[in-house]
A and B are shown apart, each in its own frame.
Chain A
Amino acid sequence: MTEGLRYAYAVVRDTGAPEAGPDALAALEGVPGVAGEPVRAVRHLGLAVLAGDVPTEDFDEGPLRERLEDMAWLEKVARAHQRVVDTAGADSCVIPVRLATVCRGEEGLRRMLADGRERFASALDRLEGRVEWGVKVYAAPPPPEEPPAGQPPAGGRGAPTALSGRDYLRRRKAQRQAAERRWGQTEEGARLVHDTLTGLAERHRLHPPQDPKLSGESDRNVLNAAYLVRREDSAGFAERVGRLAERATGLRVELTGPWAPYSFTADDDGAGSAGADG
């Protein structure tokens, strides 16, 4: 009704229930938003946006920009945003809105719905009944290389330095080939996982591999992918991931989800419809 800032989480279909609002809202009872506020639905034109009142001292442009550089604050906001979206999307279709989308007043939210009306409607049609699964594949890092042959073989008196040098080079070559084979198998294994899952999914999207320093994982992330899967196919998809994981030697496969379809809100084909790897 009033002025003030509104933080938007997701767009849903307005199911038209006179009082209770969209189905997605019912699940949000007791799930606070990014500022601890209750999340409400603002309806317009057959759509509704899930949003909450947020204080200007944190979410107006200047402060927000500063706060986003505070990792602890960013984490709090990101997790609250994700909790709202995935709770609302657990049983119905939600179109997640990018992190830190803030509008001025309910008017701003309604304008957002009006301006994006066609985009939202087509996304809802496209994503209805679908969920996103995340699959990451890790390769164990190769063991640390042997220290270069330190001591020349004992007992060498005259020429053996030439011989040990050749031995050294031969050994290094063998090590290098072994390492290349290992990585080759890793990539092949990751490709098999990806190709198989792509065949089971409607769409896929490759996210950049995660940096070990940010993820805290010591193993190298060789695949970080999202797959769009029909809800009814989810159990089969997860089971298939499990079977692939058992067969993939030297790889660790991690499954997360089901997520709301964050990675598939864009309708451009380039973002990962079949065959178009990002």
Chain B
Amino acid sequence: MTTAPSGPLAHQQIALVDVLDRLLAGGVVITGDLTLRIADVDLVRIDLRALISSVNADVPSPWEEP
């Protein structure tokens, strides 16, 4: 069985994990002094890892690169 998308993505109910898979592991990473250091993906990852491990101590981050 499959759950087929209906209509444009903007109108679908999308799981947050699906969004974060793309927003945290995809997209162009800008580095350099023009952006704030927080934009650095590693910082974001570290924060999220901390967040998740504080929720589920035994769960490794799902956003680790394979």
Q: Which of B27-66 contact A (CB under 8 A)?
A: 27-30, 32, 34-39, 41, 43-44, 47-48, 50-52, 55-56, 59, 62-66
Smallest CB separation, B53 vs chain A (Å): 11
Alpha-carbon distance A210/B14, docked complex (angstroms): 14
Alpha-carbon distance A65/B41, docked complex (angstroms): 12
Is there an interface contact between A262 and B48, defined as CB atoms closer than 8 Å? no
Alpha-carbon distance A216/B28, docked complex (angstroms): 29
Considering the complex, give the chain A residue whose CB is closest to the CB of B21.
A207
Considering the complex, give the chain A residue whose CB is closest to the CB of B37.
A61
Considering the complex, give the chain B residue whose CB is closest to the CB of A243.
B2
Alpha-carbon distance A75/B24, docked complex (angstroms): 12
Q: Does A220 contact B (CB under 8 A)?
A: no
- Contact status of A65 and B38, CB under 8 A, knowing A71-B51, A214-B17, A263-B25: yes
- List A contacts of B37 (CB < 8 A): 61
Considering the complex, give the chain A residue whose CB is closest to the CB of B62.
A211
Of B39, B52, B62, the contact of A101 (CB 8 Å cutoff): B39
Tally of B interface residues using CB under 8 Å: 49
Alpha-carbon distance A73/B44, docked complex (angstroms): 14
- List A contacts of B17 (CB < 8 A): 210, 214-215
Given A96-B27, A98-B23, A101-B39, 7 extra CB contacts under 8 A: A86-B8, A111-B34, A112-B35, A210-B17, A211-B59, A214-B17, A252-B1
Binding site for B on A (CB under 8 A): 5, 8, 11, 31, 60-61, 64-65, 68-69, 71, 74-75, 78-79, 81-83, 86-87, 90, 95-104, 108, 111-112, 115-116, 119-120, 123, 132, 134, 206-211, 213-216, 224, 226, 238, 241-242, 245-246, 252-259, 262-266, 278
